[in-house]
A and B are shown apart, each in its own frame.
Chain A
Amino acid sequence: MTDLRRGRSFRLLAGGLGAALTLSACMGGTTDSGKDAAAGYDPKAAVTITWWTGQPEEQEKVAEQLAAEYHTAHPNVTIKVSPGAPTTDDLLTKLSAGFTSDSYPDVSYAYGNWAGDLGASGKAQDLTSYVQDPSFGWDDFPAAAREVATSKGKVIGIPALVDNLALIYNKALFDKAGVAYPTDQWSWDDFRAAAKKLTDKSTNTYGTAYSVSGSEDTTWHLWPLLWQHGGKILDGDKPAFNSDAGVAALETLRQMAVDDKSMYLDQTDEKYAPLFNSGHVGMMLSGPWALLEIKEAKLAYGVADLPGFNGDHQTVSGPDLWVLFDHGDVNRAGATRDFMKWLTSASVDPKWNLAVGNLPLRTSEKSSPEYAAYVKEYPGGDKFFANLANAKQARPTLPGYEVLSRNVGDAVAAVLQGQAQPKEALDNAAKKSVDAITN
C-alpha cells in the first residue's frame, strides 16, 4: 500500500515539475522574424481588432464613438474597444499577462517609459518604414514624441499624447506678496527668491511644491534641470546623471526644500496639485493635465516657461504611445495600422486629444477650430503647446529605465528631506542602477 502511494506521489511530483518546465519556456518572448507584420495586407479583408485605450470613463466614451465612426466608414473592420485595465498604470501588468497567455490586444495605450520594455518583447510591430511614408506625416509630431516612440532604432509606436512641464502660478498669491509674475526669462534664482517671498507659515502657504514619493513623478521633474546644466541621464548605457550637472541641479532644489523651507514636500504624488488649486502653493511645475482641475477650482492662474539656467529653458516631455502588436496576421496588422494612422491624423486627432482636454498631437492642428476652442477653454494651453519646442531631449527608452527612475526618485526624496547630500545620493543611485541598465 505504501509503495503504491509513494509511486503515485512521485508521478504527481514528476508531472508537476514537467509542466513547470514547460511553463518556464513561456518566459521567453518571440524573436523578431525581420518580416514586415503587414506585408501583403488586403485592406478589404474582414477583420476584428482589439483596442485598449487605457482611458477613464469620459474619454473612453469618446474613443468608442470614434471607433464606431471608423467602422461606419470601413464596415469590414470591427473594433473592440475597452480601457484594457482599471487604470493606465495597470496596463503594463495586463499586457505582460496577455503576452504569456497569448491574449494581448492589437493596439494599446502605453506610457512613454514603457517603450523600451515593449520594444524588447518582440511582440510590437516594427513601424519604421510605415511611418516614413509621406502620407503619414511623421515629422508633424513633436521631436520628443518621435524619439520616445523609437526604441533601439526601431519605431514601435505612434504618439498618443504629448505634454510637457511648465511653470503654473497662482496670480492672487503673487499679488498678495507683492511679487512680479514669472516670465519666460526667469532663472532658477528668480524662482527661488519668489518662492521664499510667497512662503507664509502662518497661512500654511508654500512658494512651490515637489513630490518626494520617489516615483517617476519625483524623478522626471529633475531632468529639465539636469539638461539645462548640460548633463545627461545616460552616457551610452551607463548612468551619467550623477555628474556635476546633476549635483548642481539637485542642489538648486535642495536649497529651496531644506535651506529656505519654501517647498511643500508631498509624500504622495496626489496632494500638491489640490493644494495649489486651494491656494496653498504659489507655483508648481506641472503639465497641461493640471489645467482642468485648476479651471474647476476657479483659480486665476498663469503659465510661463520653466525657469532656466544660463538662458537654457528646456523642459521635459512625457509623450505616451499607441503601441501596435503583431499577431502573425497581416490583415489584422495592416488594419490596425490604418486605424491608428486615421486616429492620429491631423483631421481626426482634434476630435480626440483636443476634445478630451489634451494638447494636439500634430503641429499642423494649430489652425483647426478645435484648437481655438481648446485655448479659449483652457487659458495657458497655447503656452504649453509652444513649450513643446523646448522639449529638446527625451527620457531614455531602454529597458531598465523604471529601475533607474526609482533609484533617482529615492535619492531626490532623501536630499529634499535633508537626509542626504546631492553628490552622495546621486552617486549611490547611479551605482544601484548600473546593473539594471546594462543587462
Chain B
Amino acid sequence: MALTFAVTPRTQVSALKSPRKRALRRNLTGWAFAGPATLIVIGLSIFPAVWAFFISRAKWNGIAPATQVGWRNYRLLVQDPDMIAATKHTLLLTALFVPGSIILGIVIAIALNQKIRLIGFYRTCIFVPYVASAAATGILAGFVFNPQFGVANDLLRHLGIPQQQFLESQHQAIYIICLIALWGEVGFTTVIYLAALQDIPRDLVEAARMDGASPWRVFRHVTLPELRPVTVFAAIWQTITAMQLFDLIYTTTRGGPLNSTQTIVYYIYELAFQTQRLGYGAAAAYLLFIVTLLLSLLVIWYSRRRGSEVF
C-alpha cells in the first residue's frame, strides 16, 4: 500500500542514494501519511473487534475470571427465546422502516424538487429532525405520546377516537418507535434523493416528453431507473440503521413494555451491560455482524448483476 504513494522526484538528492534507500524513504513517507489513521483504525476498530471474538467464546462478567466455553454461547443463542423475539422485532422494524423511509424519501424529494417559493425553508424543515440527535428525538416523542398528558392523545380526543396507550402498550409500541424513527431519518433519504433527482439529465426527461410520455410514464420509466443506484445505497444504509437502532429505544421504552420493543442491539446492551454477561453479549453481537455482512453482500451482488454498481 505504501508503494501507491507518489513522491515528488528530487533528482539531485536521490541520484546520490542507492535505489534501496530510495525505496525505504518512499515507504517511510507513505507510512507517515497513512500511519496515524491506520493506528486509529486498528486500535479502535479492528483490535476491539478481534478481542470481542475471543470474549464471545468465554463466559465472562468483566470482573471474575473468564471460563472458556468454546461455541456454547452461539449454540445457546440460537435457541434463546429472548434472542428469537428480539430478532423478530428487529426484522419487523426493518421491514417497516426501510421501504417506509425510501418511499417517503422519494415522495418528499419530488415535492421539494418543484420550483416554488420558500423552497429552501421547506428543505431545511425536512432535514432538521435528521440533524437532531436520536436521544433528543426520543425524549421529545416521550412527551408527545405520553398516554395521560401527551399531545397525541389530545388530538385523538378532539377527533373522537378512543385514547391509546402508545409506547406503553406492548402491541403498539414498536409501530410508534418505527414512526418516530421515520420522522427522524426521512430527512436523510430525502436529501440523497433530491440530489439524485437533480442529477437526472434534463434531455432524457425532455426526450421522453417529446415522444408523448405522460408524467407518470416519465416517472416510471425514466426517473425511477435513474434512481436505482441511490435506492440500492439507501436500502443498505437504512437497513443498517434499522438494525442498529438503539438510542431511540433507550430513550423511549428501554425495550419494554414486556420486551416488545427489544431489538437485537438493545438485547446485546442488556446482556452485556445490565446483566454483565459479556461473553454471551459479544456472541450475539458477532451473530448480528455476520447477518448484516451477508445481507449487504447479497444486495451488492444483486445490484451488480443488474448492472448498477454503487459499491
B54 and A23 within 8 A (CB): yes
| CB pairs A–B below 8 angstroms (24 shown) | A1-B3, A19-B47, A27-B65, A29-B64, A93-B273, A95-B63, A97-B62, A117-B276, A118-B63, A120-B64, A121-B64, A123-B63, A267-B253, A267-B256, A267-B257, A268-B254, A402-B274, A406-B274, A410-B258, A413-B257, A414-B258, A419-B170, A435-B76, A439-B59
Residue with the greatest number of chain B CB neighbours at <10 A, chosen from A1, A31, A96? A96
Which of B42, B60, B168, B259 is the one whose CB lies under 8 Å from A214? Answer: B259
Is B14 interfacial (CB-CB < 8 Å)? no
Is A87 interfacial (CB-CB < 8 Å)? no
Mark B49-74 against chain A: 1 for CB-CB distance below 8 A, else 0.
01101110011111111110000000
Mark B36-48 against chain A: 1 for CB-CB distance below 8 A, else 0.
0000001000110
Is A85 interfacial (CB-CB < 8 Å)? no
Mark A1-32 against chain B: 1 for CB-CB distance below 8 A, else 0.
10001000000000011011101100111010
Residue with the greatest number of chain B CB neighbours at <10 A, chosen from A23, A100, A439? A23
Which of A28, A100, A402, A419 is the one whose CB lies under 8 Å from B258? Answer: A419
List 6 extra interface pairs beyond A20-B51, A267-B257, CB under 8 A. Answer: A27-B65, A117-B63, A117-B276, A120-B63, A212-B257, A214-B256
Q: How far is the CA of A435 from the CA of B82 in the complex (A)?
A: 15
Could you tell me the distance in whole angstroms from the C-beta of A341 to the nearest C-beta in chain B? Answer: 25
Q: What 8 A-B pairs come out closest when comparing CB atoms?
A: A96-B62, A120-B64, A27-B66, A24-B54, A29-B65, A121-B63, A20-B50, A28-B65
Is B148 interfacial (CB-CB < 8 Å)? yes
Is B277 interfacial (CB-CB < 8 Å)? yes
Could you tell me the distance in whole angstroms from the C-beta of A104 to the nearest C-beta in chain B? Answer: 10
Q: How far is the CA of A117 from the CA of B61 in the complex (A)?
A: 8
Is A128 interfacial (CB-CB < 8 Å)? no
Residues of A within 8 A of B61 (CB): 96, 117, 120, 399
A213 and B254 within 8 A (CB): yes
Residue with the greatest number of chain B CB neighbours at <10 A, chosen from A27, A204, A414? A27
B65 and A16 within 8 A (CB): no
Chain B residue with the shortest CB-CB distance to A120 = B64
A24 and B257 within 8 A (CB): no
- Give the size of the chain B interface in residues (CB under 8 angstroms): 37
Residues of A within 8 A of B254 (CB): 213, 268
Interface size class of A (residues with CB under 8 A): 35 or more
Task: Tell me the dominant secondary structure on chain A's binding face.
Answer: helix
Is A99 interfacial (CB-CB < 8 Å)? yes
Q: How far is the CA of A419 from the CA of B85 in the complex (A)?
A: 16
Which of B46, B60, B65, B270 is the one whose CB lies under 8 Å from A122? Answer: B65
Q: How far is the CA of A439 from the CA of B73 in the complex (A)?
A: 13
Residues of A within 8 A of B275 (CB): 402-403, 406, 436
Could you tell me the distance in whole angstroms from the C-beta of A118 to the nearest C-beta in chain B? Answer: 6
Q: How far is the CA of A403 from the CA of B3 in the complex (A)?
A: 53
B63 and A417 within 8 A (CB): no
Task: Contacts A28-B65, A120-B64, A121-B64 given; indicate if A92 touches B257 (C-beta within 8 A).
Answer: no
Within 8 A of A (CB), among B198-242: none
A99 and B63 within 8 A (CB): yes
B46 and A413 within 8 A (CB): no
A204 and B47 within 8 A (CB): no
Chain B residue with the shortest CB-CB distance to A268 = B254
Which of B60, B167, B257 is the one whose CB lies under 8 Å from A27? Answer: B60
Within 8 A of A (CB), among B1-54: 1, 3, 42, 46-47, 50-51, 53-54
Residues of B within 8 A of A92 (CB): 63, 276
Within 8 A of B (CB), among A229-269: 267-268
Residue with the greatest number of chain A CB neighbours at <10 A, chosen from B59, B66, B148, B257? B257
B257 and A122 within 8 A (CB): no
Residues of B within 8 A of A20 (CB): 47, 50-51, 53-54
A204 and B148 within 8 A (CB): yes
Residues of B within 8 A of A414 (CB): 258
Could you tell me the distance in whole angstroms from the C-beta of A422 to the nearest C-beta in chain B? Answer: 15
Could you tell me the distance in whole angstroms from the C-beta of A115 to the nearest C-beta in chain B? Answer: 11
Mark B74-98 against chain A: 1 for CB-CB distance below 8 A, else 0.
0010000000000000000000000
Which of A28, A29, A97, A417 is the one whose CB lies under 8 Å from B257? Answer: A417
Residues of B within 8 A of A419 (CB): 170, 258
Within 8 A of B (CB), among A88-143: 92-93, 95-97, 99-100, 117-118, 120-123
Task: Contacts A268-B254, A417-B258 given; indicate if A17 touches B50 (C-beta within 8 A).
Answer: yes
Which of B47, B55, B63, B167 is the one whose CB lies under 8 Å from A29? Answer: B63
Could you tell me the distance in whole angstroms from the C-beta of A92 to the nearest C-beta in chain B? Answer: 7
Q: How far is the CA of A97 from the CA of B58 in the complex (A)?
A: 17
B50 and A402 within 8 A (CB): no
Chain B residue with the shortest CB-CB distance to A12 = B42
Residues of A within 8 A of B270 (CB): 406
B64 and A122 within 8 A (CB): yes
